[in-house]
Amino acid sequence: MTNRLDGRIAAVTGAASGNGRAIAEKLLADGATLVAIDLNPDALASVFGDRPEVLQVQADVADEASVKAGMAKIAEAFGRLDILVNNAGIVKFGTFEELSRAEWDQVFAVNSTGPFLVSREAYGLLRAGDGDHTRAIVNITSVEAHIVISSSGHPQIHYNASKGALLQLTRALAVEAASSGIRVNAVAPGFIETPFTAEALGKEEVRNWLLERTPMGRIGKPEDVANGVAFLASDDASWVTGTTLFVDGGWTIY
């Protein structure tokens, strides 16, 4: 817990569960005022209750009208935004030959198009942000944007491709946004214990294989991801843009 985000307005998508929830709690603990965005309003309400420092916004990041309506609520409440974390994402498994167009589109809509829409609609608010500090977009990609872990027994070509697209969105937007004082970075988690990975991590052979394969010898926690995000969101990273911070216990070393 620090005060390095005191006075900052931070929005986190997918804030009601897993990594997003931990990111939201970490940004709050570091002093930020939070906009918690999620598809699921009941989950948002049960996680954040009626905490005054949290504005809950129900929105579907894959739906343009919904994103616009969500950003209008932030504009009305604060008139600016200092930190945006594009965390909402979905995972689907399936072999390439059986992969339907609909499922491919769904994964891209949430994991790649979602961060594009949210960032574009938030851009004016970020430009209006606290000029005493750099403003930051942090995109949650995955080690799967860089490597393919098909040996886990879970082929997911659409997920790999969608996170690869988000990686390049991060790098390209970093160039364009730099002159506005907005930094754009990615955090690439390895396997993290969340509802997203519960099924895979529930299998003993998968868990053992992961532990053997991870130099740090443990599965990641959402708080590990959150700590990386908080660094990139803060002025501690004021000259860091267009890069990826791997939070993977060393998985991608090999």
Nearer Cβ to ligand NAD, position 134 or 197? 197
Report d(CA 72, CA 9) in Å as an integer.
15
Report d(CA 3, CA 148) in Å as an integer.
38
Report d(CA 177, CA 205) in Å as an integer.
44
DSSP state of 127: H
Please state the closest distance from residue 248 (CB atom) to ligand NAD, in A.
9
Please state the closest distance from residue 3 (CB atom) to ligand NAD, in A.
26
Nearer Cβ to ligand NAD, position 134 or 141? 141
Please state the closest distance from residue 54 (CB atom) to ligand NAD, in A.
15
Nearer Cβ to ligand NAD, position 9 or 62? 62
Q: How far is CA 166 from CA 22, 138, 142, in A?
A: 21, 11, 10
What residues make contact with ligand NAD under the rule CB under 6 A? 13-14, 16-20, 38-40, 43, 60-62, 87-90, 110, 114, 140, 142, 189, 191-192, 194-197
Nearer Cβ to ligand NAD, position 134 or 162? 162
State the catalytic residue, choosing from 159, 191, 196, 246: 159
Please state the closest distance from residue 179 (CB atom) to ligand NAD, in A.
28
Going by C-beta distance under 8 Å and a sequence separation of 6 or more, which residues neighbour residue 9?
Answer: 32, 33, 35, 74, 78, 80, 81, 82, 83, 129, 130
Q: Does 159 qualify as catalytic in the annotation?
A: yes
- In degrees and rounded to multiples of 5, residue 243 shows phi and psi of -115, 175
Instruction: Enumerate the active-site residues.
Output: 159
